[in-house]
Structure formats: structure tokens, C-alpha cells
Amino acid sequence: MNAPRLSEFIKAYDVRGLVPQQLNDAVAFAIGSAFAQVVARPDGATSIVVGHDMRESSPGLSRSFAAGVAAHGLDVTLIGLCSTDGLYYASGALDVPGAMFTASHNPAQYNGIKLCRSGARPVGQDTGLAQIRDLAQALLDSDETAGVSGDTSAPETGAAAADATGVDTAVEVSGAGVPAGNISERDILGDYAQFLRGLVDLGELRPLTVVVDAGNGMGGHTVPAVLGTQAGLPALPLTVIPLYFELDGTFPNHEANPLNPENLRDLQAAVIAHGADLGLAFDGDADRCFVVDERGEPVSPSAITALVGTREAAKERAAGREARIVYNVISSAAVPEIIGEAGATGIRTRVGHSFIKGEMARVQAVFGGEHSAHYYFRDFWFADTGMLAAMHVLAALGEQSRPLSELVAEFSRYVASGEINSTVADAAAATAEVRAWAQAWGREAAQAVDFDELDGMTVTHQGDPMWWFNLRASNTEPLLRLNVEASDEPTMARVRDEVLSIVRGEKMTEEIQPAASAPVAPSAASDETAPRIEPWLREILRCPQCRSTLVDGSGPAGPELHCTNTECRLAYRIADGIPVLLVDESRTLTN
């Protein structure tokens, strides 16, 4: 039987594949062996830490990975069930490399691995993941992982640990001939909870009621420890109303992806029903956190970035240090404005966690935030932690008397389109046409228009009314991604429609061209009767059938989202502004 092709599911930042067709015990062992040789040993590490989420396949895969590492003489600490930021905590606190087995919110048949160096430093395509992939592939192709069984019995140490997983410790790899490392267990949940509480004091807040939707993911494991008393910590002035805290990797209630509006409905209803002060939603591995206010309305991640950024900036300035906050090119223009008003320096970077983490480390920024609800903290080894961001929101709310909707209003200044994807035949040519249009607009209006290419092309008009947009190509698909923001809704809509009319001209693929209409957003008349998706949530949506990106389209009943995968070709209706991402209720696009 041929070994799986690792290049098909080891991508830019992590491993994510189908179990067992792609990711199985032999593959996990091979990746563990390669991780030891490419990262751990060259970095001088003598041990690593491994954690996993609630998926049925996670314990066995994590033990096979551990056996692959131990075969090279490295000790392995298995911390068992944890969130991804719990693994980052262990890597940072123990100063060892780490591996987290999770596929976040992907369906149950998937699993994956997130890898880091000591101090929770990320391992990506350019920092070791490509070499790990190639070495693991060579091991698989040479049959050096034959016999791995993925036994999930209690851990043993040394050679016995390798033998317990069915691994022949005498395989001809670079670690052969060295004593196998020890594999042991350790529970770090209490230490993780105590560490986070030491960063944000929640003990003196006014009493708050918070609904938390864990989506059957790892938030159900961490929230009771951090915000409750499960880890033996003192009670906080919080009444936590749990939704879906039962750990279940089949996600029986809804997908654990809080940036899909469909997955927020239960949280929004519960916040209103309980008269709660706010709601929190975590994704499957609990590294992202999404916030809704007391009215059940979503709070933009850019507003959370600005809110947390001002708190971290104040702390830095109080300590006599210059405060630096990192944000990406599609964050709201309000973010750098508010950060500057708080006396901090805003630093703009490319989209993607490897870029924001790298820039934070380079400039020693105290905080970084992304539009995708990833929040990064210097005091958490520059890693992302949704739990710490949630604690900042709770603290900001509980330290004053206003409701959350009023508190965050000051951090939400502009109107945004959210990310809109368009399939194009030639991204560079479409971008050049948009540039020419923006230059001509500036000449005709006799107003300055600025261009930069930090990540794609950003065009900014600082006049009245203010507007800007970013157009950048996908690295993996024939897509252009558009984000527009402006001082008001009409200006945002005008700029959005002008750019889309260029991008989606004759280059737009037939299956996503709106029927019998120009390739622009719906007219003002149709907008009034066809509610659109919350715009800043749009970019995270994926086809539930094939996981490809979705783009705006039209159908017999009105606005739709269309899958960009020509092998899938499914269309999903939008009902009352909510996309109905159910395969059973989709239709197939025709030629």
C-alpha cells in the first residue's frame, strides 16, 4: 500500500488531513521522528511536550507521534486534553518544543498537528515544516514506520514506550542506536489557569453573567478551570452559563467555528434569554474567541483588537515602556487611530499568524490582533490565546458600569464590507485594472490616492469621505480577496461595487456570474429586500461539502453563496441575512 502524499495535507502553517487515509499512526510516527531531527535536536532540546483535543483519533495519534520523537532519545511529556493555547503555555513555561493534535473546527473525520519550537515559536513552511514534511515522506516511502499501531494504553518510559505503540526502535533512522527517551504524563490545566489569572485580574469586577458556547470543543475543558473553580482557584464574580461544554469531536450541535454566523444563533438567543452581559464563543481548539454583546449582536474582532490594545498600551506606559501594537492590513482603520490616541505605536503587517508573530517578536510588541479573532500577547510568548482576550473583555466590561454595546461603540468607527472573494482567471491583470481605475479616479477628482503593496494592493483615500480597500490574491486558489472600509455605508458600497465591477468583469467564472445582471453587488433596490451577511464575517465561510471558499452569487430565490470549486459547484441560499450552509438544502450550479 502506497504511503500518503504528505504535500497534500501539510500546508503553510500546520498539518490537517483525513483520518486514517492521510493522517494515521504511521504518518504521526514519521512526523514525530522528523520533528525530532529537524526542530528539537538542532535547537538543543532534550524533551518536547505533546497535547491533544477531544477528537476520538487524537490520543492514539499523539502517542504515535511521541514514540517517533522518543526514538531519537528525546523525552516526551504528554499533557493530554488541552486547548491549543494550553499547549503554547506548556511550550513556553517548560521552554520546550511542542505539538498539538487538533483540526480545530473541521469535521470529525479530520485531525491535524500544530507544531512549535521552544517558547511557543511557530513552525511553518519557511521555518522547518517543509523539511519535516520531506523527511517524514522519505521515512514513510522507505517503510521505516511499518508496525506502528497507535496503542493508547497508559504511557511507559524509554524503549518500553516505543514498544507499546508497536514501533521497532531499531529502525534505521538517524536516532537509531541511542537510548529511547522517556514518555511521561503531566496535567498542566491548573498551572495554565493560574498563569492566565495572573495576567488579568478578574477578582474585583462588578458581578457579570456570561454565556459561553464551547461548541463541544476544548473551551468546555478550559473555561471551567480559568473562569470557574474546577482547577482549585478562587471563585470569580462571574456567573457562567455553559452551552455545549461536553467534549465531542463529532460536533453534534453546530460546527465549532464562531465566525460563521449560523454557529452564533444559539449563543445569541441564550444571551438574550438569560439577560446576560455578554456571550463568548470559542472554536474547536479554543485558540480563537468571538464576542457578542448584551443584545446578542456580534462585536467586530477589530473592535476587540482596539479595546485590548488600549488596555495593554496603558499597562506598558505605566511601566515606563514604549507600547507597540501589531495589526494586519485588513484590520479597521480605527485600530491604528485608537492605538495612537492611547499613546502607543501601531505596526501594520501582512495577513497570517506567522507574519504577525514574527513582527511582534521583532519589535517586541505587547499585543497583536487579527480580523480572524486571533489575539497575540507578548506576555504569552507572542502566541495567540482566545481565553486571555476574553478575560480582557470581561475586565474592561466589569471595571465600569456601561453595557458592552456602549463600551465597544467607541472602538467601531467605520463601515466595512468584510472579505469578498472573487474567482478570476488572471489576478495580476485584474489588480492592474483596479489600480488604473483608482489612479484615474484620483486625477479626475483632483484628490490624493495612496497605494501600498505590503500585502496585495491597498488603496487609500484620506479625504472626505475617507475610504480604503485592499485587494490581494490567494496563495492557494484562483481568488482575489477584497476588503473595503469607509466613513459611511454609501461610500463603502460605491467603492466596493466599482472594484467588484472591474474584478468580476469578463474574468469572472461562469458559475458565479450573477444571472442576467452586471457583475457588481446587488442594486440599492434589491439590497433593501435581500439582507446581506454580516460583512466582516464573510471571509471565514467555507463550503461544508468540500471546504473551498465561497463567493457572492445570485439564484432563483435571491442572493446566494457559491462554491469556487468547479468539482463541487454547490450554491447556498441566504435567508434573512444568514447563509444556510447545509448541503442537503443546497443546489448545484448549472452551466
What is the rounded distance in angstroms from the CA atom of residue 238 to the CA atom of residue 197?
Answer: 14
Query: Which H/E stretch holds residue 189?
Result: helix 189-199
Count helices and strands in the chain by DSSP H and E runs: 16, 27
Write out the DSSP string of 18-57: ETTTTS-HHHHHHHHHHHIIIIITTTT-SEEEEEE-S-TT
Report the candidate in 118, 114, 129 with the shortest Cα–Cα distance to residue 84. 114
What is the rounded distance in angstroms from the CA atom of residue 208 to the CA atom of residue 233?
Answer: 18
Q: Cell match 476587540: residue?
A: 304
User: One of 104, 118, 300, 417 is an active-site residue; which one?
Assistant: 104
What is the rounded distance in angstroms from the CA atom of residue 109 to the CA atom of residue 107?
Answer: 6
What is the rounded distance in angstroms from the CA atom of residue 169 to the CA atom of residue 160?
Answer: 10
Report the candidate in 547, 566, 568, 435 with the shortest Cα–Cα distance to residue 509. 566
For residues 251 and 280, is the Cβ–Cβ distance under 8 A? no
CB atoms within 10 A of CB 527: 14
Please confirm whether the linkage preceding 42 is cis (ω < 30° from 0).
Answer: no
Round the CA-based radius of gyration of the chain to a whole number and report it.
Answer: 24
Query: In Å, what is the CA distance from 52 to each residue of 59, 88, 111, 165, 223?
Result: 7, 12, 10, 17, 17
Paired with 239 in beta bridges are: 209
State the alpha helices, DSSP H only, in 53-164.
Answer: 58-70, 84-94, 130-141, 158-164
Q: Cell match 500518503: residue?
A: 4
Residue 417 designated active-site: no
* The residue type at 519: P
State the alpha helices, DSSP H only, in 262-385.
Answer: 265-274, 301-318, 334-341, 353-363
What is the rounded distance in angstroms from the CA atom of residue 325 to the CA atom of residue 304?
Answer: 13
State the alpha helices, DSSP H only, in 423-558.
Answer: 427-445, 489-503, 524-529
* The residue type at 327: Y
Sign of CA dihedral 388, 394, 400, 406: positive
The C-alpha cell of 430 is what?
A: 485584474
> Would you call 364 helix, strand, or coil by DSSP?
coil
Q: What angle do CA 347, 348, 352 make, to 5 degrees?
A: 125
Q: What distance lies between CA 589 and its chain's CA centroid?
A: 30
Report how far apart the first and last C-alpha atoms of the chain are (Å, whole number): 39
Residue count (the chain): 591
Query: In Å, what is the CA distance from 427 to each residue of 267, 451, 479?
Result: 39, 17, 7
* Catalytic residue IDs: 104
